[in-house]
Amino acid sequence: MTATPLSDSVNPNPVKPDAARERDRWTASADAWDRWADPMADLADKLNRPLLDAAGLAEGDRLLDLASGAGEPALSAARRAGPGGLVVGSDLVPGMMAGAVRRSRGVDGPAPAFTAADMTALPFADAAFDRVTCRFGIMFVPAVEAALREVRRVLRPGGKAAFMVWGPRAGNGLFAEIGDVVAAHLGEDGSLDPLFRFAEPGLLADAMRGSGFEQSAETDLTPVRKAPAGQPFWRAALDMSFGHRLGGLDRERRGALEADIARRFDAQAVDGIVPVPSHARIVVGW
């Protein structure tokens, strides 16, 4: 983990998402999240481990995962909490959890329970959990302070919450390149902007302290994935993060869009390898 200085590309006026639009977006891309969940599981676990470490999750803990989608990191958390623990996964959009429910049936060992829940109005008692996690979800919630107050309410005194958010767009090559091509083909619709809402260091940590958390800390992760040139390593990101824009495309238009994405990444290859930088941030509050 390395500390990263504030990038020039951080948007000083981050866009607030729109609740109805976010619900539609995730409903439209739910099938893609289910389809890609297993092929992406190893990559996902590389991010889950530091997030669960930051949350301080230990065997026997009760953990609530918010915006679980297809089960990340709820499934990893259940393995760590063990048979004496309890993991509850939740999401605003029930369809997004279809993959999570399917995957939890196949696990050998403790599995999470999943339930639909808007994180701004959680259906749980005060102090019901020791830990709360949320991987790449809080940025899509317009009423972020309401969500953070709910998180604080369902945490026991001394409990910890850990959020994973994206750093700046410029540090996230996969989204940046695909986003540029999608905008060139289909027009700019702004739906990528909420991803980078907490790109500015300290922004989410400040919101946590303003919502009942006494302390907060953050750590940046800046891994560079080495992807093989000529391979569609970018297709999962295209389907999962832009799927809501691709539904109406015929084969020809989709083919042209994908060919442009492939050309962009192949042009960056060095000795057959495309470096794909990413920048995530873990923000912890207690």
Ligand X SMILES: C[S@@+](CC[C@H](N)C(=O)[O-])C[C@H]1O[C@@H](n2cnc3c(N)ncnc32)[C@H](O)[C@@H]1O
CB of 61 to ligand X, least distance (A): 19
CB closer to ligand X, 191 vs 216:
191
Q: Which of 226, 202, 221, 215 is nearest to 285 (CA)?
A: 215
Among the residues of the chain, which ranges form H helices? Answer: 19-37, 41-55, 74-81, 98-105, 144-154, 173-186, 203-209, 235-246, 251-266
Choice from 26, 166, 175, 242 touching ligand X (CB under 6 A): 26
Choice from 137, 168, 171, 179 touching ligand X (CB under 6 A): 137
H/E run at residue 66: strand 62-66
CA distance 227 to 54: 28
In this structure, the strands spanning 216-221 and 280-285 are antiparallel
Choice from 93, 155, 204, 280 touching ligand X (CB under 6 A): 93
Can residue 96 be called a binding residue for ligand X (CB under 6 A)? Answer: yes
Can residue 72 be called a binding residue for ligand X (CB under 6 A)? Answer: yes
Q: Count how many residues are written for the chain.
A: 286
Which region, judged by CB under 6 A, interacts with ligand X, from 89-97, 102-110, 200-208, 258-266?
89-97
Which region, judged by CB under 6 A, interacts with ligand X, from 77-85, 115-123, 216-224, 254-262?
115-123
- Residues in contact with ligand X, counted by CB under 6 A, come to a total of 19
Q: Which residues bind ligand X (CB under 6 A)?
A: 22, 26, 66-69, 72, 91-93, 96, 118-120, 135-137, 140-141
